[in-house]
Amino acid sequence: MMNLTTEEVCLICAYGISDRSALAAAIRNSLTDLDEPEMRELAISAASKLESMTDAGFEALDRIPDFDFESEGEDGTEG
């Protein structure tokens, strides 16, 4: 199974869709609304990975991003 990046997990979580196929379709359908090349690339990558995995693999995903807030200072900078 392909590993999802933190950004891809965040994108997946933003949709709030628990069905892998429906989620991949929703992400692909949103491509026409994405103006930023980086966001389009992220969405295409996430949708491709979702389409490549099995339903069982999707269910096994840890869909809670692993944010490391303890290494950041109060102003959001590393420190």
- For 24-71, how does the pLDDT look when each residue is reduced to its tens digit (9 = 90+)? 999 999 999 999 999 999 999 999 999 999 999 998 887 665 556 565
Q: Is the pLDDT of residue 10 over 70?
A: yes
Q: Is the pLDDT of residue 77 over 90?
A: no
pLDDT score, position 47:
98
Buried b / exposed e over 52-74, threshold 16 CB at 10 Å, is ebeeeebeeeeeeeeeeeeeeee
